[in-house]
A and B are shown apart, each in its own frame.
Chain A
């Protein structure tokens, strides 16, 4: 449905309306990032945790299976008391279902390194073997026989590649099983046969527990038969290692092999015993023959030695003759060498002369060539000089012509100047005349002016006397005025004339200057011309000199040419003479070479002869040496012969004894379960499976609950928007789709991302934790669709349904109702207010918070439940850790009071038994001990069958000190006396059988034979299942006396590994003691395993913590969004930031504390439930949660709540008053 919706929307199927609604949705997501991310994160954590933890168990098994397959681990392993042969190998290969077989040898030895001993299994290594592939970690495989590779974890104890380790046999066998006792480590490895790095299995040597294993090349093994044969089946390989189908088929094949073992063992027995008998008979015969043959051989040798002595003296004589011959040959050879050397000297001299002459000729030729070049160069230079001379002559002629031309031009210029001068003189004269005229006129004018001024003075005088009105005076004035005007006219004319004159004068001066300049130019021109003429004259002189030189050079050149021709003729003659000389020399040389070759041949012949002689000499020496050796050998042989005869006689005697001792031949078929760590790994993975049954579901529930709360409140908040959309005509479906999409988008994306991260993260962390204990280091992850679909699907569906119902409720209302702000829930008095003595003591804000809390009951419950869920999850995590951690302490320190127990042979005689006891008392006189028979039987009730150890005790009084029998809840002490029928049963066993004290259970003692037993008392017990009875009760039930196979002891031994190992080793050395198990030793193995469980639990706690954090954040966020108006109002009223924060957070903290308290109760129940579900059958977990765990779970929640509040303070501060109060309008 959801996918369809999204499809429709993305296709625009819903039209424009849907588009804008979708836009609205995207905007809504952006606006409510916090809420969207909260849902996203909660879903991611919830689904991630669920799908991850649930996948882990399976992933562990797959990883292991892949590891086994990759390393070709065997499916079945066969051993025989008589060893296995090639015949066995091929017979096994033919069994139906067997697809591959492989054989190997091994032996248990003590490895010594750095003063310490290690119980070591030494395997044969065959590089062609494909089965149980070794994973070489470092170094290389052994090549030489004295090389070995060592299992990797031993490196931690200081051993390293290149070190030597010593091997020794502590069993006291007469023959050491390997070729060498010291091996060099060349590499380290892991093997799929030993996957646990803490458990190595057991051995029959040392303290009984295996410490190391190594591989050496197969040729090292002295034994011929195989120790083990490994079997693989193609069909089994295709199955998952720990699956039921695997186990069934494996058991089928094992059955067939066991059946095959019966006849094969017989054959082997006959072969070995028959062979041995035959060997002895043959040996005896051989011995007799050897005695006579040996003596004969010795005699022959003696004779041979004597012959050799004669041969040696003959050889010596022959060699002396040869020496004389060699001396003669050498003299002849030296003479021939001298003759040849003389010839060679002469020849060399001839050649030297030839080369000298050749050099001289070459020199002459070079000189000739050089002079030819010089001559032709000279010719070229002369030609060039001639050309230059001609060119300069032409240039000189040209220059003379130019000079003549210029001189003519100068003459013309001189004439023009003279004319100009004459003109200027004329103008000067005219000017002088004009000036005189002007001066004359000017004098006349000045005179007139003086007259006029005199007249005017008079007139003014007269006017002063007569008054200005006098007509005469008036007339006079007029005359005067006229005169004045005439005078002014003259003056003007004069000024004009003066101006003209000045202009003329200026022109004259200018022209004079020009003329002077021209004159200067002419003078300069003449000077230049004279200079040029001088140069031309000098040029002509130079030209004539050059011509004379040229003529002289030309004569010299012609002389040179003649000399060259003469030289060339001389050179040609010389060359001919030289060539003749060369031919003569070559002929002489050839003769010499022939002679030399002959000499070399003769010399080689001589050397060969000499070498032969030397060889002969050496041969003689060798022969002498051989003779001496032969003599020594002969003496040794004599000694050996005597010793071997003695040895053989002893062997025959031993063989006879062995045959008498040899037991029965029998096959044993083992499967992988017997590999140390193999089964344990399975139970570890199953433990994880069990934990993942219930814990993740609760986890998911809390996550879903919080998401639901968030979404339903979102719808409530969006009433107004829903109303608006409705009033705009959007259909209910489209609006619904909007909110559905929002919710589904957040939940689905979170779930999917969470699922994919979780699917890898959780298995990885847990497998990584187990990786510390197992060598399985390749991690496989299987996509488990069921887990993802269940978790993601239920998450998304739950949220979608919530939105659907909430939205449907809202959509049922009319737009008008929706758009009106929903009347805030009416305030009312809460119950608390009626309790006056509390209410009256609360502060004002205390009262406010109190009322707020109880007003929104639903919110309160949702918050409290959400927080409680997280607290419960944390507490469960802590509780699980406590329960598992307690097992070791409770079982091994409180309940098991014994120091250890020894497995002893069940048919010990009284003396042997007393010897064991004596050894115990030797070690510590104050030792308590008693015997017991431990054997596994099937116990059943109506609820099912359980394998348990029936333990029959020889002395129950002492045994009550060994194990603290008591009821877990009652704490009441239990004794065999108080328990009904003297039967004490461990608690987990009664739980599995679903019986209680007084009930009857059925014990199957053999096929078809059962006994009814009453559960007499139930005792607290954590590991494995036991049914304790007294020896007498056993005899009564089974009808025979118990054959005790175990001795429990309590000797207060120090809890120190070395002390305990020393003790174990000591006791193992006692006859009849098969193994020693120390209580403290079991503790350490178990606590190792528990350490890993701790890590797993930490993963749970951290996940729960993460969920708690997100849940708190989300709830607080929702709370703030809901009450934003109230918060804004407080801000407007001038509340400080911290006052506002405390107003909001006071309620949160109260809710967190309430939630945490409720969560502690819920967690206690959940923890009990998880523990009971998670328990594996073999082990009962502790049932107590430590007080500190309650405290931690509580504090974790409260601290997270405070952190969230701190983060939210920021958001509170950011709330804008204006925006928040406006929104209602």
Chain B
């Protein structure tokens, strides 16, 4: 069994009489250590998939398994534990605590687990060794996203989930963030799943899952992913 498996996953929203399928029988696998990109237009259901994978949302039907665990069967408490120990989240708008310094923001995540990478060390690694004491408002967008990545990585997750991480960043900064993510995958063997509507960056992935109308349109395995620096968009 693959590291991450989705099988016939359905997510429905009921709006009175109307039922909207946000996930309409999605099936795909992602192997351990892969850099997977889920790409699709707005409203196609890619974020829903990511939320379900991250334990922020539940599916109505189907199998979601991560590292052998049936995430779809988790109860509230198990889901919280799953988010706590197994998943790192990176958002488009960083979601940092505005009232905590970069270091404290990372430490906040570390509060939840005993096995963590010290905040200073991980921030050093993402290139913010000099900005430990700064508040988010004193950091640029790219720097904030790096703090967010550091926060996600500090608790040594099994899975790094990124929801449009470059959506709010300029081209070059975005590229740097993508590089950081790719390096994390390549160097540390982290399994990274990235959701984006920008198909131009697809070549950097080991696996590209195209989603359209809440369905998986295609799964392409890329044996020779391009390095981020070589991608232009």
Contacts and interface: CB of A to CB of B under 8 A. Distances in A.
Which 5 A-B residue pairings sit nearest by Cβ, starting from the closest? A1134-B84, A827-B135, A826-B137, A1134-B83, A824-B98
Contacts of A825: 98
A1132 B135 contact: no
Contacts of A1130: 108
A1132 B98 contact: no
Interface stretch (B86-94, B170-178, B207-215): B86-94
Interface in B67-103: 77, 80-85, 87, 89, 91-93, 95-101
B51 A1134 contact: no
Interface string B8-34: 000000000000000000000000000
Given A1134-B81, A1134-B84, 17 more contacts: A827-B98, A828-B135, A844-B111, A845-B111, A848-B108, A1126-B97, A1129-B95, A1131-B80, A1132-B83, A1132-B89, A1133-B108, A1134-B112, A1135-B112, A1218-B51, A1218-B57, A1221-B95, A1225-B93
A169 B92 CA distance: 102
A853 to B, nearest CB: 10
Interface of A: 823-828, 844-845, 847-848, 851-852, 855, 1125-1126, 1128-1137, 1139, 1217-1218, 1221, 1224-1225
B95 A848 contact: no
B111 A855 contact: no
Nearest to B107: A844
Nearest to A1130: B108
**Among A845, A1128, A1129, A1224, residue most surrounded by chain B Cβ atoms (within 10 Å):** A1129
21 contacts: A824-B98, A826-B137, A827-B97, A827-B98, A827-B135, A848-B97, A848-B99, A848-B100, A1130-B108, A1131-B80, A1132-B83, A1133-B89, A1133-B109, A1133-B112, A1134-B80, A1134-B82, A1134-B87, A1135-B84, A1218-B51, A1218-B56, A1225-B93
Nearest to A1222: B47
A825 B89 CA distance: 24
Contacts of A824: 98, 136-137
Contacts of B56: 1132, 1217-1218
A1218 B13 CA distance: 13
Interface string B94-133: 0111111100100111011000000000000000000000
Contacts of B138: 826
**Among B85, B93, B99, B100, residue most surrounded by chain A Cβ atoms (within 10 Å):** B99
Contact of A1132 (B85, B92, B95, B107): B95
A827 B83 contact: no
Contact of A827 (B51, B85, B91, B100): B100
A827 B105 CA distance: 12
A1225 B54 CA distance: 20
B148 to A, nearest CB: 10
A1133 B84 CA distance: 6
A287 to B, nearest CB: 114
Q: At the interface, is chain A mostly helix, strand, loop or mixed?
A: helix
Contact of B99 (A823, A855, A1131, A1225): A855
Contacts of A1135: 80, 84, 112
A1136 B80 contact: yes
B156 to A, nearest CB: 13
A1030 to B, nearest CB: 74
Contacts of B104: 844, 847-848
B152 to A, nearest CB: 9
A1134 B137 contact: no
A824 B93 CA distance: 12
B138 to A, nearest CB: 7
A1132 B93 CA distance: 14
Contacts of A1125: 95
A369 to B, nearest CB: 93
Contacts of A1221: 91, 93, 95
Contacts of A1218: 51, 56-57
A1126 B95 CA distance: 8
B92 A1225 contact: yes
Contacts of A1132: 54, 56, 83, 89, 95
Interface string B212-232: 000000000000000000000
A1225 B47 CA distance: 13
Given A1132-B83, A1217-B56, A1218-B51, A826 B112 contact: no
Nearest to A847: B104
Interface in B39-70: 51, 54, 56-57
A824 to B, nearest CB: 4
Contacts of B112: 1133-1135, 1139
A686 to B, nearest CB: 54
B216 to A, nearest CB: 21
Nearest to B84: A1134
Contacts of A844: 104, 107-108, 111
Contact of B98 (A826, A1133, A1134, A1217): A826
B46 to A, nearest CB: 13
Nearest to B52: A1218
A844 B81 CA distance: 21
Contacts of B151: 1133
A851 B99 contact: yes
**Among A845, A847, A1134, A1137, residue most surrounded by chain B Cβ atoms (within 10 Å):** A1134
Contacts of A1128: 95
A144 to B, nearest CB: 81
B83 A1133 contact: yes
A824 B94 CA distance: 13
**Among B57, B82, B97, residue most surrounded by chain A Cβ atoms (within 10 Å):** B97
Contacts of B85: 1134
B52 to A, nearest CB: 10
Contacts of B93: 1221, 1224-1225
Nearest to A1140: B80
Contacts of A845: 111
Nearest to A1134: B84
Nearest to B167: A1225
B11 to A, nearest CB: 11
A276 to B, nearest CB: 103
Nearest to B109: A1133
Nearest to B48: A1218
Contacts of B97: 827, 848, 1126, 1129
A823 B91 CA distance: 17
